[in-house]
Amino acid sequence: MNTLSIFRKVAVAEGISYIALLFIAMPMKYYMDMPLAVKYTGWAHGLLFVLYAALVIICLVEYKWSIGKAALIFLGSLLPFVPFYIDKKLKEEPVDQPKAS
């Protein structure tokens, strides 16, 4: 498994955790008085977000992404559902191997 495929899997997991945090855990906290839902979902999402950000940097170097591409991919993680679009676009890219130095 190469770095890009790992990144794509983390992007999907991060996207799912973000949606769960926003649309499941937050309503549970505020409407059902269950703050632990946000605590644990937020912790998992935070861990996945940090891993996502680290993998963006690794892919930037390994695949020689432009700064603009890496920045857009990073910023996409801040919006719900965008990580799924990023995964789709990266899957469609013809080169799935690191570019030679």
Q: 23 falls in which pLDDT band (50, 70, 90)?
A: very high
Supply the mean pLDDT for the chain.
92
**pTM for this entry:** 0.88
Domain ranges of the chain: 3-91
Per-residue pLDDT, averaged over 60-72, amounts to 96
Per-residue pLDDT, averaged over 88-96, amounts to 79
Burial class (CB in 10 A: 0-12, 13-18, 19+), 74: middle
Cα gap 89→32, rounded to integer Å: 38
- In the chain, % helix, strand, coil (3-state, to 5) comes to 75, 0, 25
Identify how many contiguous H helices and E strands the chain contains and give both numbers: 5, 0
Per-residue pLDDT, averaged over 63-72, amounts to 96
Q: Which two tokens stand for residue 43?
A: 């912790």
pLDDT given for residue 85 in this prediction: 95
Q: In whole angstroms, what separates CA 101 from the centre of its chain? A: 27
Q: 95 falls in which pLDDT band (50, 70, 90)?
A: low
